[in-house]
Structure 1
């Protein structure tokens, strides 16, 4: 998925999508806000929240500047929607794979557990962003049209490859097939086709990929193994078992909220890996493990340190000389994350069999 996202960026797919959103907005900042949100949701669901943070953010910045709009309200979408929509599908967030590991629910079971909660998460987050950015949107006028970059053949193939991978992964999830090899094969075939079409070297594409994520995740697995051998995982598992024995409902709420907060202290990847190991060490109710995932995915909307996607988003902003301080993000996060988390967990509980 990292390879597909980088190919789509290099071939101008995201620049084209952002320009199309400006054209469809027809001079309305509010409509542009909704369209950028829609693009962010689609990119997150099909490519992951990291793709939205890394490759959509620069495209949105360029498009809003060309339209004469203040970029920041639209750039906030790329951070908050990326996390809010990241548990719609198993592939929408690398943390989903970290939490469930080899026990990933099949697609229909996943949608049954997280479908409604994900829609609520997206809706509440969008509403909070829309209300908090209302004044900035109302005070500006944007041009009705901007020069739309042509979507080259490579960009069309990248879009087709994304759709192909999405369909393939949905089918694999539906039939409980592990997602690793199908993703690798589809991404590699698409990349090879685009590179062959353009008669270009693959090294520029490979060089621009976020390879630092791989040793980071590998190091986290080593960390969790160390915690397991020192007995920390067992202690946490005993605490969770006692909480579940006392009240499944209370454990669900407690675990979801605690995990969401911890993610902002240590980042959601290590928090998710530890929480996933604790959940996997004992058979816990589906509600509890679902609350863990919601906390891991949605909790990082509180602070910039919460997830890798948000950190990458901040790096992308600074590259464009846009400054968002930790305090400014926290103020918005305090408005956006808690209601989305509470209502998402409540929706998950209500939709559970």
Structure 2
């Protein structure tokens, strides 16, 4: 009982501090001591710590590589070019801009992970709306929602996907094929809700528009990203981890940027987000302590068994609720091992819950918390009531659309 209480208290401290960031300190400032405490008191044996570190190691390596890849793409001007293209395609019509944001954010999230959408695309969306004279609110909220919902497609789109990918036993291509229909269904539902929910903003006449020069096509960055995505599939077919394909793509852009003196070694290291990687590792240790000291058994009695449609719906619902209670990353760490014995379909249903569910509350995912801070940096107030009402409309409907879509994909394609 003592270990259970200490583990839960440590997790609560980590999550509260990750949300609030007291004194402006990074998440790892509080997560690392919490991990040390649960190890020191014996709540998690050293052998289990080593096992957790070995399990998370490839995931963290991949995340670092993708963060570097996304930052170097930004330095090449890829996101600026995307913003200009969005504005021109929209032709000063806010509804067309919303469609462009949905399309671009979905692709960026799937290909470069949700962190790229939140950190790099959100400022571009804000600037594009301002340049068009459109109200920014629908488009900013779209970048937040799609950083979560649109991360369903590929194993590399979200850290939660990476955590689950190995447990599914699926190839990269098979994972993508099974999640394609749920991804399309969830994004379509979000788009329909957004058009209705923000109708007043989208129908408002745009104000004075700014001008923008045509950007140079960042061809090298585009080709590198495409080659990296192809590398993920090839690596999976050869039994090689996706971290190596991501590292190769990041290395190609880094060498080019360093040779042209557009970046520095220190900037490349900063782009890898080492403090955040340390936070994820510390969080994994704390969550493992909580699971091993009672939470795993408790959730095991709640989580539905099997891959029939009712079981998949129940699994996705449990995952969504847990994501909003303890954040989606810990929820994935807890639920994926419990769902794995039921097969890949159950693990994919967990991903539906932990990726779509966080759109209900700020604390549901770290990406949403980061998005809120970025919005504030641009002097755009984020209304809690608007966020919550929008989440109440999108999360249940998206889950009800995506889960049957997953069931159909499993029935047609198998695993």
Question: What TM-score, normalized by structure 2, do the two folds share?
Answer: 0.77
Listed as ranges, the gaps of 5+ residues in structure 2 are 1-65
Aligned to 1:194: 257
1:89 CA displacement: 1.0
Is 2:122–2:143's contact at 8 Å kept on the other side of the alignment?
yes
The whole-number CA distance in structure 1 between the counterparts of 2:197 and 2:104 is: 20
Q: How does 1:1-353 map to 2 (within 5 A)?
A: 1-101=66-166, 103-141=168-206, 146-148=211-213, 150-151=215-216, 155-198=218-261, 200-237=263-300, 239-240=302-303, 243-244=304-305, 248-280=308-340, 283-353=341-411
- 3-state SS of the aligned residue for 2:215? coil
Q: Please list the CA deviations of residues 65-100 of structure 1 after superposition, one character each: whole Å capped at 9, or x if unmatched.
A: 122111111111111122121111111111101234
The answer to whether the Cα contact below 8 Å between 1:84 and 1:121 also exists between their aligned partners in 2 is yes
Residues 232-255 of structure 1: per-residue CA shift (max 9 Å, x gap): 324533554xx427x944332212
Ranges in structure 1 where 5+ consecutive residues have no aligned partner: none
Distance 1:211 1:104 in 2: 28
Q: CA deviation at 1:175?
A: 4.5
**d(CA) in 2 for partners of 1:305, 1:137:** 28
Contact kept? 2:168, 2:347, Cα under 8 Å: no
Give the SS at the match of 2:175: helix
- The alpha-carbon deviation at position 38 of structure 1 amounts to 1.2
Contact kept in structure 2, 1:98 and 1:269, CA below 8 Å = no
Matches of 2:131 and 2:397 in 1, distance apart? 34
- 1:122, distance to aligned residue in structure 2 (A): 0.9
For the residue of structure 1 that corresponds to 2:211, the secondary structure is coil
Q: Displacement of 1:284 after TM fit?
A: 0.6
Distance across 2 between alignment mates of 1:93 and 1:26 = 32
The farther-off stretch of 94-103 and 62-71 is 94-103
Report the TM-score when normalising by structure 1: 0.90
Q: CA offsets, 1:266-320, max 9 Å, x none?
A: 110000111112224xx21433222111101111111221112111111111111
Distance 1:59 1:173, change over 3 A: same
Deviation string for 1:106-134 (max 9, x for gaps)?
13321342111111011111111121112
CA distance in 1, matches of 2:223, 2:261: 16
Alpha-carbon spacing, 1:84–1:276, altered in 2? closer, same or farther (3 Å) = same
In 2, Cα distance between the equivalents of 1:231 and 1:100?
25
Contact 1:279 1:289 in 2 (8 A): yes
Q: Secondary structure at the match of 1:92?
A: coil
Quickly say closer, same or farther: Cα 1:325–1:144, change in 2 above 3 A.
closer
How far apart in 1 are the matches of 2:97 and 2:316? 33
| Mapped partners of 1:121, 1:139: distance in 2 | 27
What is the number of residues matched between the two proteins?
346
- Give yes or no for contact 2:362–2:368 (8 Å, CA) kept in 1: yes
Q: What CA distance in whole angstroms lies between the structure 2 residues aligned with 1:298 and 1:314?
A: 17
